[in-house]
Structure 1
Amino acid sequence: MTTAPVDPMIGRLIDGRYQVRSRIARGGMATVYLATDLRLERRVAIKIMHGHLADDNTFKTRFVQEARSAARLAHPNVVNVFDQGQDADMAYLVMEYLPGITLRELLKDYKKLTPEQTVDIMDAVLAGLAAAHKAGIVHRDLKPENVLLADDGRIKLGDFGLARAASANTATGQALLGTIAYLSPELVTRGVADARSDIYAVGIMMYEMLTGEQPYVGEAPMAIAYQHANDQVPTPSSKNPAVPVELDELVLWATTRDPEERPNDARAMLERLREVEPSIRFSHLPLATQATMVLSDASLPGVATAETSVLGAGAAPLAVTETTSAGSSDGEDAQALTKSAASRKRRGYWIIALVLLLTGLAAGTGWYFGAGPGALAPVPETATLAPDAATGILEEAGFSVEPAERNDPIVPAGQVSGTDPAAGEQAQRGSTVTLFVSIGPSILPVPEVRGTPSDDARAALEDFTVVDPDILQYTEDAPVDTVIDVLDADGATVGAEYPELGELTLVVSAGPVPDVVGMPVAEAEATLTAAGLQFAHLDPVFDNSGAIADGHVVAAEPTTETVRQGDTINLTLSKGQDLVAVPNVVGKKMPEAIAALEAAGFEVGHSFPELFLPAVTVTAQDPVAEAPAVRGSKVNLVGTLTL
């Protein structure tokens, strides 16, 4: 007999705080354990990423993303995330522990659910999903396994491991993520997901809850994917005639192949569900008038039916079958008949009283939940209002108000940042609504990203708002696309801490400034323009070196100390060499010849001592007279000393 290996995580203390007790579940990316938070003395669920995935940045990023996505949601129908961290080589995620079962386990036990049960569960799922969509999060992996049914009746949505920002609307670029049975047509065909893709998955879940089976089955995943992409989901009533038409229409609306024809988000679908919910519930209750009917004695316990029967209206008078028992008499029969009639009369009064009581209770219940204190009413929108004004609006709508504070990266401090339940959700009149007042954004540490590629920097700074586009700065000190600096909203280098979702701008290396020296002017201008730089022209100069031809760039100088896209480069063009004719100084005395050549811009070379120059007559010059020469070049003189 072999024994199962003991999980090495059982009993382990993680990060000096979480004592692992037992294993709850195991998935493809992580294992979930029951643990005790020793610091707060409470039970938690701790999700630990599998060791073989620890070196895979894609999985680690997705794992951390689940924590951040779920942590942004504070809603009664979303599993709370308490903590996330790394212990040695283990990445972990700490969530609230919900003893209970998943919707998948419920469906395994009951096969299919009633319309009322489906409405109850979908109301909670859509409420939690609406909070995610409002926060800009797309779940992307909705399925019964991720709907948790707690023992205390709470219903929560979990597992945001595949969640992405709704505004990204990105394709996966890899194998399709999520469970194939719930993937929307656009995810199958294009790998693109948005809030409407979650709605499609909700519709498939509703179909499965109402019928006990998924709409599409196949031997291979691609066969199921093909049906998602090409077929319309059938109505649940085609499999289960007990499904009301309202739920048929809701499933068809959610699973339309064209995402433009689906609800825009979970809020829109939730509102429609709540509109049809009363008709779904009351359509399964007997009408009050059905409780009132003519009852025969045969329907009441303890009344003999062998000799006596009650006839309906218009029938013959009550007939009493003659008995053959010895000793009976007409007097005894009359007395028995009188007692029987009195008994029937008393029972009739009780039946009428019971019917009236039930009718009154139904009417009272209808009033209480329809128009009275127990009626559902939408929570008013109060975001960005002053707390006093918001309190007045909520109280006027019939709610009690409990003030609270929370960080909000968008709503200014002192203004209302939201409520729980959220605005637009249905809640009972007289119930308590928590009114959250913003205390401003959370102040978070800023990761050091200088020297990293820009994409990596953006991922590291996802708690902030990185502005597009990056500032490109030309430098020879950093490779192209490497972050040089991070600027705050005022354009200064950001400090060690910064407000959550605050705007940051990356300064990224564009490499060295393009070298345009020696280029023809048109080519130089085009090169600078393509690099995103401006240019201006200074006065052209002679290039007596002969290296730069006329009309070519002889110098390119930045106008700023640091050069960024949009800055100006000053261009100086060459006028070629400055050529002049050499004066004829042959036959002149040496001092006169030197003066004439220097006046023309030349240097003079000779081999005579200064003392003898007045007595020297020039006999030859190089270059020769009238020859073109570069201004500033040297003219050598040869002479004869005359004493």
Structure 2
Amino acid sequence: MTNAPPDPMIGRLIDGRYQVRSRIARGGMATVYLATDLRLERRVAIKIMHGHLADDNTFKTRFVQEARSAARLAHPNVVNVFDQGQDADMAYLVMEYLPGITLRELLKDYKKLTPEQTVDIMDAVLSGLAAAHKAGIVHRDLKPENVLLADDGRIKLGDFGLARAASANTATGQALLGTIAYLSPELVTRGVADARSDIYAVGIMMFEMLTGEQPYVGEAPMTIAYQHANDEVPAPSSKNPAVPSELDELVLWATRRDPDERPRDARELLDRLREAEPALRSSHVPLTTQATMVLPAAAELLGTATAETRVLGAATLATPGGVATAEASDGDDAAELSTSAARRKRRGYWILALVLLVTGLAAGTGWYFGAGPGAYVTIPKTTTETPEAALALLTDAGFQVKQETRTDPEIPAGAVIDTDPTGGSSARNGSTVTLLVSEGPRILEVPDVAGQSVDAANELLAEFTLLDPIEQFSAEVPAGSVIGALGADGEALPSTYPERGDVTLIVSVGPVPPVEGLAVADAEAKLKEARLEVKYKAPVFSNDVAKDHVVTADWLSDPMRPGSTVELTVSKGQDLVAVPNVVGKPLQDAIEELEAAGFKVTHSFPEAFIAFATVSEQNPVAEAQAVRGSTITLVATLTV
């Protein structure tokens, strides 16, 4: 037989902070280890996603979702989540370490639980679940494996890996999620879950705790799913006659096939459970009724005997032969009376002592649970206080206070997040309450998303809050790809940024359409199709662009985004003017006149003799229409 290879995670230091000590459990999605937080010097449970799932975005999303869902809850019956992160290719989740067992292990050992044990456990489970429902979270994977029973008596709800924010109907996105034995009919048939689906799972758990078995069994998962969708869960007393009717009613109410007939959330079911709890506990005190045989002295002490009391006197004592005798003398009667009086006196002392003892115990118990260490005190709410003020409030309320820091994406550094147990709940007088002070959000490295698709950028920036993207024209970045990202201040996103900070992606919509040279109507239509506004400058003459066509298109914004304005300059056509008549004029005068009219002049007469020359010919001829700025050719002769 070969030994299993050692776990490579044992002894590893994760993220420079968590030293892995031993393995606690392994599941289909992750393995849980016992580790030491070297920074805060405390034991924690660290949940590490299996390496082969690291590239699966669905599993990574569920892993991060578990951290975010549990971190939103601060309740004594919910496992605390301290941290979540990525070390190389390994995603991890840090939770409080609770040495103990799960409800599943308890059921394996004891098969079924008493009604009182069931009530105690379900009170804690429903309290934690009520906090989740109040925060808008649906657990979606309630089962005995996810109920933790700590060695110190605490009961906590864990594993929010399938949790989702609740809406009127939260679709799973898959055919089935969670353990098949606890799935509600609506999850089986429609793949839709809300808080009432969690209530159904709670009802199935109660049935299993009271009877030692699940209501539906089958060889194939689909057989069990079919029963959930089509059958009503039977009363637990049909399997275990010792189950009280109050618990029968709660189980049947929680497991109705129609969600509208169940409690709307965990708080409603918890309130009903607590209403029934006194009757459940009192109904299980054993009561016996027996006939009592009392000797004469005792009969005199207690008064007249009841119908069920038989008094046996000396005259009725049977002889061995079976015949009663009555031989008591007067002396014997006097001795018996003296003995009875002494016995009554001694018994009176004992009764008085017993009464005093019971009274003292009752008074002590009342003090212990009413004002002493056993009393439950409401924990002050401290979320709006400074740490100093919160410490004073908790101390004045009679609690021992331990202060811890924790990163929080919403509460600023130095401010109080909450307490554990949470403010407003109850805890024993003199017990320790943890004051949680924010370190502010974690500062994360910002990945480079330029050139990525929008979906890829959203995934890379999943730990930040992504606002609606901004569209922008770009000739360099293809349409649909990311140009860059902006922070909350509207500036380019820096290399590090706070967790959950606001991020806005700038997404390319391609280049601004070129419209130079197009007819005005076509150019305007093309720009408006690109969601751009159009303005016009004064039209200009253009020797190169046809009349009523665009000469220039100027951008009035930088950068250009949909809704920005493009200013068009339209051609008035060529600038034609009449050519002046310069034939017969001195060459120098002719040159000056033509240039003043906006023409260029060329001639072949030597420069040294221009002053002595007269124009004999011009081309184009006088009065001809020519483009302003074109060239006029002159022919000159020497004047004698």
Distance 1:76 1:604, change over 3 A: same
State how far apart, in whole Å, the 2-side matches of 1:406 and 1:91 are: 22
Distance 1:98 1:439, change over 3 A: closer
State how far apart, in whole Å, the 1-side matches of 2:247 and 2:445 are: 51
Distance 1:128 1:520, change over 3 A: farther
Look up the match of 1:15: 13
Look up the match of 1:330: 327
What is the CA distance between 1:330 and its match in structure 2?
A: 0.8
Unaligned 5+ segments in structure 2 are 299-303
Q: Is residue 489 of structure 1 aligned with residue 488 of structure 2?
A: yes
CA contact (8 A) 1:250 1:273 kept: no
State how far apart, in whole Å, the 1-side matches of 2:39 and 2:567 are: 68
State how far apart, in whole Å, the 1-side matches of 2:88 and 2:618 are: 94
Look up the match of 1:571: 567
Instruction: Please give the secondary structure, in 1, of the residue aligned with 2:566.
Output: strand
CA contact (8 A) 1:184 1:257 kept: no
CA contact (8 A) 1:232 1:257 kept: no
Superposed CA deviations along residues 398-451 of structure 1, whole A, max 9, x for unmatched, are 553636353444345565432222133233456454444x45514413322332
What is the CA distance between 1:6 and its match in structure 2?
A: 1.0
State how far apart, in whole Å, the 2-side matches of 1:368 and 1:526 are: 85
Unaligned 5+ segments in structure 1 are 304-309
Residue type of the alignment partner of 1:474: F
Instruction: Please give the secondary structure, in 2, of the residue aligned with 1:209.
Output: helix
RMSD, aligned α-carbons: 5.1
Instruction: Please give the secondary structure, in 2, of the residue aligned with 1:201.
Output: helix
CA contact (8 A) 1:139 1:160 kept: yes
Residue type of the alignment partner of 2:318: T
Candidates 545, 551, 554, aligned match of 1:557: 554
What is the CA distance between 1:218 and its match in structure 2?
A: 5.3
Q: What is the TM-score of this pair, normalised by structure 2?
A: 0.75
Work out the percentage of aligned pairs sharing the same amino acid: 59
Superposed CA deviations along residues 534-584 of structure 1, whole A, max 9, x for unmatched, are 4443333344313x651x543333334433455x33321323413535447
Aligned length: 619
State how far apart, in whole Å, the 1-side matches of 2:234 and 2:522 are: 65
What is the CA distance between 1:630 and its match in structure 2?
A: 4.5
Instruction: Please give the secondary structure, in 2, of the residue aligned with 1:331.
Output: coil
Residue type of the alignment partner of 2:571: K
Superposed CA deviations along residues 21-73 of structure 1, whole A, max 9, x for unmatched, are 76544322234456678999977655444443344343345445545655665
CA contact (8 A) 2:181 2:214 kept: yes
Instruction: Please give the secondary structure, in 2, of the residue aligned with 1:101.
Output: strand
What is the CA distance between 1:296 and its match in structure 2?
A: 0.9
Report which stretch shifted further, 228-237 or 142-151: 228-237
Look up the match of 1:306: none
State how far apart, in whole Å, the 1-side matches of 2:390 and 2:205 are: 37
Report which stretch shifted further, 152-161 or 594-603: 594-603
State how far apart, in whole Å, the 2-side matches of 1:537 and 1:336 are: 135
Q: What is the TM-score of this pair, normalised by structure 1?
A: 0.75
Instruction: Please give the secondary structure, in 1, of the residue aligned with 2:544.
Output: coil
Q: Is residue 312 of structure 1 aligned with residue 299 of structure 2?
A: no
CA contact (8 A) 1:233 1:252 kept: no
Look up the match of 1:441: 440
Residue type of the alignment partner of 1:580: L
Superposed CA deviations along residues 346-401 of structure 1, whole A, max 9, x for unmatched, are 889978987997799679867865798745455443421356765676678x5536
Distance 1:144 1:426, change over 3 A: same
Q: Is residue 143 of structure 1 aligned with residue 143 of structure 2?
A: yes
Look up the match of 2:405: 406
Q: Is residue 503 of structure 1 aligned with residue 497 of structure 2?
A: no
CA contact (8 A) 1:471 1:565 kept: no
Look up the match of 1:120: 120
Look up the match of 1:27: 27
Residue type of the alignment partner of 1:252: W
Report which stretch shifted further, 537-546 or 132-141: 132-141
Look up the match of 2:419: 419
Instruction: Please give the secondary structure, in 1, of the residue aligned with 2:328.
Output: helix
Instruction: Please give the secondary structure, in 1, of the residue aligned with 2:476.
Output: coil
Instruction: Please give the secondary structure, in 2, of the residue aligned with 1:206.
Output: helix
Look up the match of 1:307: none
Report which stretch shifted further, 326-335 or 424-433: 326-335
State how far apart, in whole Å, the 2-side matches of 1:530 and 1:216 are: 62
Residue type of the alignment partner of 2:505: L
Look up the match of 1:161: 161
Superposed CA deviations along residues 317-338 of structure 1, whole A, max 9, x for unmatched, are 7564463448976128979987
State how far apart, in whole Å, the 2-side matches of 1:19 and 1:392 are: 35
Instruction: Please give the secondary structure, in 2, of the residue aligned with 1:475.
Output: coil
What is the CA distance between 1:177 and its match in structure 2?
A: 3.0
